[in-house]
Structures are given as structure tokens and as C-alpha cells.
């Protein structure tokens, strides 16, 4: 299920610059808005920047670090041509050519060319070092505001998930684990039930996530969004009830998966501005 982008604005020297995120970890900033600081033809400014060999090298390195589906062979073709008088490059050509994810071309009222903040700051440096500093200043202000809204809520929901996990494991101990099991068997049963929730919510087991993310510390729940943690808390309580009702694991997987879909759809449909406040200006999202 694609996540609904959360849109904001930052300001630099009187220029309004669009920014959005889908996970509150990776922000995409409008190159089109940044380019308007230099010219009334922002698309031409972006294309001229992308013609440079240094730009192509930087974009290729960023994609190789963050994009498992990056096409290095196609990138080498662009790199060999970059800087030549006949070489042209555009966002759509780059995206389709190397399967890029760091630059996004959007249509509609909120349309234009957006780039990951790493790339956007590089572009801003090319436009103007002074202008880049103004962008970073307001970007930090936005992140500070975001952290004040999110940090308390993330930790709160993480603790709620832990509390419900205790209720959940108690139900497993009382209803699924017969006496005379070894400690190893008990641990295996807990892990199996945890993976039931993982599959129902995340579509994979903990081991599958670790195998797919060898460089990350922690686990998939540490990487979860606030929305997912909130649903996880509800799923753990619901699973405890289903266990007490004697539902089989296969039956519970279907019911838990349906619950996850319905609750995530409901949460995604809510507007951040209309959610209740929990303390001061902090909002649940």
C-alpha cells in the first residue's frame, strides 16, 4: 500500500520551496522551486545542472548507495557522455534510464521535479552557496518542529506495543504452551507467534527482514512507522483474544492480516491536521 505523502513548505530568501515525506525519514525537496531563485525557466536550470559530469557522478553514487535496483550499466553510458557538447539530460531521462529513486518527477498542482534532500542540497550549492545556507536553516527549523511532534508519539506507541506484547505473550503461555516443554521449545513458540504478526503486518518474517537488510541494526519493528506500531499494538491484543478463543494459527493469520489492512487504510485516510492533540501542540499522526 503506497503511503500518502505529507507535504510542507520551507522558505529561503523569500522563495517558497515544497517538501514532502512518506516516512518522516526521507524528505524530497522541490528542485523546481529552488531553480526559480536563479531563473524563470526552472526546468532549463535543472537540465543544465544534470548535464555536468560531476552531477552525473554524484547522482550515480547516491543511487548506488541507496537503490538496490539501480542500473549501473546504463549509468556508465551516461557518465561516458556527460560533459560533451551534444549530451543532454533531464529528470525523466535519468529516472527511466537508470531506474533512479533519488529524483522524482511529479505532475499536478504539486508537480515539478523533486529530489532527496541529499541531492537537493547539492543542487542548491550549484545554484548559490548562500541560498543553500538559507534553505538548510529553514529545513532544520522544519525538522525541529517535526521532532517535537513525533518523538513523544513514536516512543509512546513503541511502549504501548511493548505493553501489549506482554499481554500477548502471557496469552501464549497460558493457552498455547502445554507443560513439560523445554525452554528452547517455549522460545520457539514465542518467536513463531511474533512472526505471525510480522507476516500479517509487514509481509515477512524477522529472519527474512534481516536477510534483506544485513546492514541495519535492530529489527523491523524498530524501522516501523508510527502508524504500523499503532496497528501492531492493536494486533497483539487481538491475537491474545483469538488465542483464548482457540483459533488456529492459520485462522488467526487471516484475521490479523484483515485487521492490519483495515486499520492502516483508516489511519492513512485521516488528515494530520484533524487528529486530536495529546499535549500542547504535539499531535498524534
In the sheet with 112-116, reading across from the earlier edge strand, the strands are 6-12, 15-21, 27-30, 112-116, 103-106
Residue 198 has pLDDT above 70, yes or no: yes
Least confident window among 79-88, 137-146, 167-176, 211-220: 167-176
pLDDT recorded at residue 178: 39
Taking only the tens place, the pLDDT of each residue in 156-167 is: 555 565 556 665
Task: Look over the chain and give the mean of its residue pLDDT values, rounded to a whole number.
Answer: 79
Residue 272 has pLDDT above 70, yes or no: no
CA torsion angle 52 56 59 64 (round to 10): -170
> What does the pLDDT average to over 204-210?
83
Across-strand partners of 6?
21
- pTM for this prediction: 0.53
> What does the pLDDT average to over 14-36?
90
pLDDT: which is higher, 101 or 220 = 101
Q: Rounded distance, CA 266 to CA 32, Å?
A: 33
Chain centroid to Cα 11, Å, comes to 23
Percent of the chain with pLDDT over 90: 38
> What does the pLDDT average to over 129-133?
94
Distances in Å between the alpha carbon of 220 and those of 73, 195, 203, 208, 281? 32, 11, 11, 10, 29
pLDDT recorded at residue 164: 63
Q: Rounded distance, CA 272 to CA 132, Å?
A: 29
Q: Rounded distance, CA 252 to CA 200, Å?
A: 9
Question: CB under 8 Å to 28, separation ≥6 — which residues?
Answer: 19, 20, 21, 104, 114, 115, 116, 117, 120
pLDDT recorded at residue 87: 92
Handedness of CA 235, 237, 240, 242 (dihedral sign): negative
Taking only the tens place, the pLDDT of each residue in 42-86 is: 999 999 999 999 999 999 999 999 999 999 999 999 999 988 889
pLDDT recorded at residue 191: 62
pLDDT: which is higher, 54 or 228 = 54
Taking only the tens place, the pLDDT of each residue in 77-127 is: 999 998 888 999 999 999 999 999 999 998 877 789 999 999 999 999 999
Cell of 244: 483464548
Residue whose C-alpha cell reads 505471525 in the numeric block = 196
pLDDT recorded at residue 147: 63
Assess contact for 30 and 113: CB atoms under 8 A: yes
Q: Rounded distance, CA 123 to CA 91, Å?
A: 13
Q: Rounded distance, CA 226 to CA 199, Å?
A: 18
Percent of the chain with pLDDT over 70: 76
Helices (runs of H) and strands (runs of E) counted in the chain: 11, 7
Q: Rounded distance, CA 130 to CA 125, Å?
A: 8
Amino acid at each position: 500500500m503506497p503511503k500518502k505523502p505529507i507535504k510542507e513548505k520551507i522558505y529561503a530568501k523569500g522563495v517558497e520551496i515544497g517538501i514532502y515525506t512518506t516516512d518522516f525519514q526521507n524528505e524530497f525537496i522541490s528542485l523546481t522551486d529552488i531553480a526559480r531563485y536563479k531563473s524563470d525557466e526552472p526546468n532549463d536550470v535543472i537540465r543544465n545542472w544534470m548535464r555536468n559530469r560531476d552531477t552525473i557522478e554524484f547522482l550515480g553514487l547516491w543511487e548506488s548507495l541507496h537503490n538496490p535496483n539501480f542500473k549501473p550499466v546504463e549509468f556508465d553510458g551516461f557518465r561516458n557522455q556527460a560533459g560533451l557538447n551534444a549530451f543532454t539530460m533531464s529528470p525523466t531521462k535519468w529516472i527511466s534510464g537508470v531506474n533512479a529513486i533519488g529524483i522524482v518527477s511529479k505532475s499536478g498542482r504539486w508537480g515539478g521535479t523533486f529530489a532527496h534532500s541529499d541531492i537537493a542540497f547539492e543542487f542548491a550549492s550549484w545554484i548559490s552557496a548562500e541560498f543553500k545556507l538559507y534553505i538548510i536553516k529553514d529545513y532544520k527549523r522544519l525538522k525541529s518542529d517535526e521532532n517535537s511532534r513525533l518523538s513523544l508519539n513514536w516512543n509512546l506507541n513503541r511502549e504501548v506495543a511493548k505493553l501489549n506484547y506482554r499481554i500477548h505473550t502471557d496469552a501464549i503461555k497460558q493457552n498455547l504452551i502445554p507443560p513439560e516443554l523445554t525452554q528452547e521449545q517455549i522460545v520457539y513458540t514465542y518467536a513463531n507467534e511474533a512472526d505471525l504478526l510480522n507476516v500479517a503486518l509487514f509481509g515477512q518474517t524477522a529472519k527474512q527482514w534481516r536477510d534483506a537488510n544485513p546492514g541495519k541494526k535492530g529489527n523491523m519493528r524498530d524501522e516501523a512507522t508510527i502508524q504500523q506500531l499503532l496497528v501492531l499494538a492493536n494486533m497483539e491484543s487481538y491475537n491474545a483474544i483469538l488465542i483464548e478463543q482457540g483459533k488456529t494459527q492459520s485462522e488467526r493469520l487471516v484475521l490479523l492480516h484483515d485487521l492490519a489492512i483495515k486499520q492502516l487504510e483508516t489511519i492513512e485516510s485521516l488528515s494530520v491536521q484533524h487528529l486530536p492533540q495529546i499535549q500542547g501542540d504535539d499531535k498524534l499522526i
